[in-house]
Amino acid sequence: VEEKPKVCEVKTVNAGVYIFTPEIFRAIERTEKSERGEYEITTSLQLLLNEGKKIYASPLNFWADLGRPWDLLVANEHFLKRQKGEVHGRIEFGVHIEENVYVGEGTRIRSGSYIEGPVYIGRYCDIGPNCYIRPCTYIGDYVRIGHGVEIKNSIIMDHTHIAHLSYVGDSVIGSRCNLGAGTTIANLRLDEAEVEMEVEGNRVGTRRRKLGTIIADYVKTGVNCMINPGVKIGPYSAIGPGAVIYEDVPPRQIFLARPFIEKRSWGGEAEAGTSEE
């Protein structure tokens, strides 16, 4: 058993799900640090194998590597397509819900909203009016989606509020975030090239033509804020009103926009285009 080999000689992946007997604890006690300076559970397994113990593997029908933030969207799409649509909340008149949509207990879908499955909406949410929830969107519990909001292929975690007239596409939004009115999360580069994201100081290709932002918990954005594709925003950070974000925002930072404003005198009625007869 080898952890993160430099050269991959086999195509079988250890998914990291184990059912152990108490023997594993004795092996862990004898496990030394790896070349990376970490205690690897795979080293403990190798000790058991060296003693002649048998380890059995069970193949999985689906496996997704969640090592990168955007990988969550792949797993989310897989499981949403296999869910069973059910409606337990309150659906107002004028709401259109297509197949494979799950609506949790205590949730209210307001009039004029349009929901295309597969979509999961958790408990005690307030959606709408006039929202457009597009396929492969997961919305957690106690989420508020204001009127005129469009969400596509995204994960919205618990207790987050997305105010009216906002757009969220191909993104992951953490819990207890507050996106101000008119927040736009772009998910497509102007040249339609592959979206890149910074990982440990390096620009990494995501193999995705459409990818929005990854927002951590407790983030706030002001009104009419715009976030460009591939940007990450750290926890407890804030984006000021009208700001356009091109780069990652570290934790506990606020990015403010200071547009140039010209001030001059104003002549009154003549310049305003009004006159008296």
Q: Is 270 helix (H, G, I), strand (E, B) or coil?
A: helix
Is 271 part of a structural domain of the chain?
no
Residue-wise pLDDT for 89-108, tens only, equals: 999 999 999 999 999 999 99
Residue 101 and residue 52 in one domain:
no
Range in 25-39, 99-113, 139-153, 245-259 the model is least confident about: 25-39
* Structural domain ending residue among the three candidates 63, 95, 112: 63
State the chain's mean pLDDT as an integer: 91
* Structural domain ending residue among the three candidates 30, 63, 96: 63
Q: Give the confidence band of 8 by pLDDT, cuts at 50, 70, 90.
A: low
Instruction: Give yes or no for residue 86 having a pLDDT over 80.
Output: yes
* Structural domain ending residue among the three candidates 63, 94, 111: 63
Residue-wise pLDDT for 105-141, tens only, equals: 999 999 999 999 999 999 999 999 999 999 999 999 9
Residue 152 and residue 206 in one domain:
yes
Residue 159 and residue 188 in one domain:
yes
Looking at residue 143, which CATH number applies to its domain? 2.160.10.10
Quote the pLDDT of residue 271.
54
Is 160 part of a structural domain of the chain?
yes
Do the beta carbons of residue 244 and residue 259 sit within 8 Å?
no
> DSSP characters for 136-183?
SEEE-TT-EE-TT-EEES-EE-TT-EE-TT-EEES-EE-TT-EEPTT-
**Residue 134: which domain range?**
79-255
Specify the residue for token string 């559970």: 41
Handedness of CA 143, 136, 169, 174 (dihedral sign): positive
Chain-centre distance of CA 76, in angstroms? 10
Do the beta carbons of residue 145 and residue 128 sit within 8 Å?
yes
Instruction: Give yes or no for residue 277 having a pLDDT over 60.
Output: no
Range in 22-31, 55-64, 202-211 the model is least confident about: 55-64
Do the beta carbons of residue 230 and residue 222 sit within 8 Å?
no
Instruction: Give yes or no for residue 270 having a pLDDT over 90.
Output: no
Q: How many folded domains does the chain comprise? A: 2
Residue 3 and residue 127 in one domain:
no
Q: Is the peptide bond before 241 cis (omega within 30 degrees of 0)?
A: no
Range in 66-80, 108-122, 124-138, 255-269 the model is least confident about: 255-269
Residue 150 and residue 240 in one domain:
yes
Residue-wise pLDDT for 145-173, tens only, equals: 999 999 999 999 999 999 999 999 999 99
Task: Tell me the catalytic residues.
Answer: 164
Do the beta carbons of residue 147 and residue 131 sit within 8 Å?
yes
What is the percent of the chain where pLDDT is above 90? 74
> DSSP characters for 51-72?
TT--------S-----SSTTHH
